Amino acid sequence: AQLQVNASVGRPIPETLFGIFFEEINHAGAGGLWAELVSNRGFEAGGQNVPSNIDPWSIIGDQSSIIVSTDRSSCFERNKIALRMEVLCDSKGSNLCPSSGVGISNPGFWGMNIEQGKTYKVVLYVRSFGSINVTVSLTSSNGLQTLAAANIIASDVSNWTKAEVLLEAKGTNHNSRLQLTTSNKGVIWFDQVSAMPLDSYKGHGFRSELVEMLENIKPQFIRFPGGCFVEGEWLRNAFRWKESIGPWEERPGHFGDVWMYWTDDGIGYFEFLQLAEDIGARPVWVFNNGISHQDQVDTSSILPFVQEALDGIEFARGASDSTWGSVRAAMGHPEPFDLKYVAVGNEDCGKKNYRGMHTLVNHGEGNYLKFYDAIKRAYPDIKIISNCDGSSSPLDHPADYYDYHVYTSANDMFARAHKFDRTSRNGPKAFVSEYAVTGKDAGTGSLLAALAEAGFLIGLEKNSDIVEMASYAPLFVNSNDRRWNPDAIVFNSAQQYGTPSYWVQQFFRESSGATLLSSTLQTNSSSLIASAVKWKNAADGNSYIKIKIVNFGSSKVNLKVVVDGLGLNSIQLSGSTKTVLTSANLMDENSFNDPKKVFPAQSLLENADKEMDVVLSPYSVSSFDLA
Ligand code: AHR
Q: Please state whether 298 falls in left (phi above 0), alpha (psi between -120 and 50) or beta.
A: beta
Q: What angle do CA 103, 247, 481 make, to 5 degrees?
A: 60
Does any domain span residue 409? no
Residues 262, 620: Cα–Cα separation, whole Å: 40
* Atom of ligand 1 minimally distant from the CA of 474: 1
> What is the per-residue pLDDT for 89?
98
Encoded amino acid at 414, one letter:
F
User: Averaged in consecutive runs of 10 residues, what is the pLDDT profile of the chain (627 residues)?
Assistant: 96 98 98 98 92 95 97 96 98 96 98 98 97 98 98 97 98 98 98 98 98 98 98 98 98 97 98 98 98 97 98 99 98 98 98 77 78 98 98 95 98 98 96 99 98 99 98 98 98 98 98 98 97 94 95 98 82 85 98 98 94 97 96
Pocket probe mutation, ligand 1, options 20, 24, 25, 475, max atoms within 8 Å of Cβ: 25
Q: Residue 366 Cα, ligand 1 centroid: separation in angstroms?
A: 23
Q: Locate all alpha helices (DSSP H) within 385-531, ordered by sequence.
A: 410-415, 447-462, 500-506
- Round to whole Å and give the CA distance between 622 and 1: 15
Three-state SS sequence of 272-318: HHHHHHHHCCEEEEEECCCECCCCECCHHHCHHHHHHHHHHHHHHHC
Nearest of 468, 544, 559 to residue 2 by alpha carbon: 559
Number of domains in the chain: 3
What's the confidence (pLDDT) of residue 567? 72
Residue having the nearest C-alpha atom to atom 7 of ligand 1? 227
Looking at the structure, tell me whether residues 101 and 167 fall in a common domain.
Answer: yes
Of 27, 237, 289, 346, the one to substitute when testing ligand 1's pocket (max ligand atoms within 8 A of C-beta) is 346
Q: How far apart are the C-alpha atoms of 83 and 36, rounded to whole Å?
A: 19
Out of 197, 212, 237, a domain closes at 197
Residues 235 and 274 both lie in one domain: yes
Among candidate residues 470, 487, 475, 509, the one with its CA nearest the CA of residue 600: 509
Quote the ligand 1 centre to 241 CA distance (angstroms). 19
63/187 same-domain check = yes
pLDDT at position 357, please?
65
- Range 382-402 burial, b when 16+ CB lie within 10 A, else e: bbbbbbbebbeeebebebbbb
- The minimum-distance atom of ligand 1 relative to the CA of 407 is 4
**CA of 386 relative to ligand 1 center, distance in Å:** 16
Could you tell me if 133 and 227 lie in one domain?
no
Give how far Cα 486 sits from Cα of 392, 405, 580, Å: 27, 15, 22
pLDDT of residue 220: 98
* Best residue for ligand 1 mutational test, from 26, 224, 347 (most atoms within 8 Å of Cβ): 347
Question: What is the atom index within ligand 1 of the atom nearest the CA of 259?
Answer: 6
Residue 449 belongs to a domain: no
457: in domain:
no
Compute the distance between CA of residue 15 and CA of residue 3 in angstroms, rounded to an integer. Answer: 26
Alpha-carbon gap, residue 84 to 98, rounded angstroms: 20
Q: Which of 407, 438, 485 to mutate to test the pocket of ligand 1 (most atoms within 8 A of CB)?
A: 407
In a domain, 302, yes or no: yes
Domain boundary among 143, 165, 197: 197
Nearest CA to ligand 1 atom 2: 474
Following DSSP, what letter does each residue of 316-358 receive, concatenated? HHS-TTSTTHHHHHHTT--SPP---EEEE-SS-TTSTTTTTTT
Atom 3 of ligand 1, residue of closest alpha carbon: 227
Which pLDDT belongs to residue 278? 98
20: CA distance to ligand 1 center in Å?
Answer: 13
Q: Which residues line ligand 1 (CB under 6 A)?
A: 23, 25, 226-228, 346-347, 434, 473-474, 484
Ligand 1, atom 6, residue with closest C-alpha: 227
Sign of CA dihedral 346, 347, 351, 356: positive
Is 468 domain-assigned? no
How many angstroms is it from 554 CA to the middle of ligand 1? 32
CA distance 263 to 24: 9
Cα 376 to middle of ligand 1, angstroms: 27
For a mutational test of ligand 1's pocket, the pick from 21, 23, 485, 487, i.e. the residue with the most ligand atoms closer than 8 A to its C-beta, is 23
Q: Please tell me whether residues 240 and 335 are part of one structural domain.
A: yes
CATH of the domain at 180: 2.60.120.260
What pLDDT is attached to residue 566?
Answer: 84
Rounded to the nearest 5 percent, the helix, strand and coil shares of the chain are 15, 35, 50
Q: What's the predicted TM-score (pTM) here?
A: 0.97
Closest ligand 1 atom to Cα of 347: 8
Domain presence at residue 283: yes
Statement to judge: residues 84 and 153 lie in one domain? yes
Domain for residue 453, yes or no? no
Give domain status of residue 79, yes or no.
yes
Indicate whether 191 and 226 sit together in one domain. Answer: no
Residues 556 and 597 in one domain: yes
Ligand 1 center from residue 221 Cα (angstroms): 18
Compute the distance between CA of residue 8 and CA of residue 366 in angstroms, rounded to an integer: 48
Task: Please indicate, yes or no, whether residues 180 and 238 belong to a single structural domain of this protein.
Answer: no
Domain that holds residue 159: 58-197
Kindly report the protein residue whose alpha carbon is nearest to atom 9 of ligand 1: 227
Which atom of ligand 1 is nearest the CA belonging to 226? Answer: 6
Atom 4 of ligand 1: nearest residue by CA position? 227
> Are 107 and 174 found together in one domain?
yes
CATH number of the domain to which 574 belongs: 2.60.40.1180
Q: Which atom of ligand 1 is nearest to the CA of 21?
A: 1
Specify the ligand 1 atom closest to the Cα of 23: 6
Contact present, 496 and 508 (Cβ < 8 Å): no
Ligand 1, residue 434: give the atom nearest the CA: 1
Handedness of CA 524, 525, 529, 532 (dihedral sign): negative
What letters, b where the CB count within 10 A reaches 16 and e where it falls short, cover 221-246? Answer: bbbbbbbbbbbbbebebbbbbebbbe
Ligand 1 atom nearest the C-alpha of 484 is 2
Q: Whose CA is nearest to atom 8 of ligand 1?
A: 227
The residue whose CA has the least distance to atom 5 of ligand 1 is: 227
The phi and psi torsions of 505 (rounded to 5 degrees) equal: -55, -35
Atom of ligand 1 nearest to the CA of 258: 6
> Among 345, 378, 401, where does a domain finish?
345
CA 228 to centroid of ligand 1, rounded, Å: 6
Residues 138 and 233 in one domain: no
In terms of domains, do 160 and 224 share one?
no
